[in-house]
Amino acid sequence: MDFIRFLHAPLLSAIGGLILLFVITYFILKYVDEEFKPKIRFVRDWLALGLIAMFVWFAISAASVNEVPRKVIDRSVVNDRADTVLQQGKEAKEESQETQEVKKIPIEQQPKGDLK
């Protein structure tokens, strides 16, 4: 499955190239004289075969040279650090809420006079 994912972009590029080749030759064949059509089809077919051959060559060379990573990555260190950061954020939020609590002073103890 990893190898298929590895070849996903080249495969889509090859398919897109083939579609583009056939669309362009369709419009060229539509407006060209009958005497040139067999030559244009011949060139189109060889270009398509060349494109397919290049993709197959790329796939074989990629399979023989490149190693697709198969190791499972241990993310426990990252998860522990994230948990620590979240816990510190919760503690900081609780501390800030405690300091922001309004202390109620009874009316008898409130200062009297102008508060200008």
| Digit-coded pLDDT (tens) for 1-10 | 567 777 888 8
Claim: this prediction has a pTM higher than 0.85: no
Q: Measure the CA–CA gap between 48 and 24, rounded to whole angstroms.
A: 12
Q: Which residue has the tokens 């494109």?
A: 51
| Digit-coded pLDDT (tens) for 10-21 | 889 999 999 999
Q: Measure the CA–CA gap between 54 and 38, rounded to whole angstroms.
A: 24
Higher pLDDT, 96 or 31: 31
Q: Measure the CA–CA gap between 11 and 18, rounded to whole angstroms.
A: 11
Q: Measure the CA–CA gap between 21 and 28, rounded to whole angstroms.
A: 11
In the chain, where are the structural domains located? 2-65
Q: Which residue has the tokens 């202390």?
A: 103
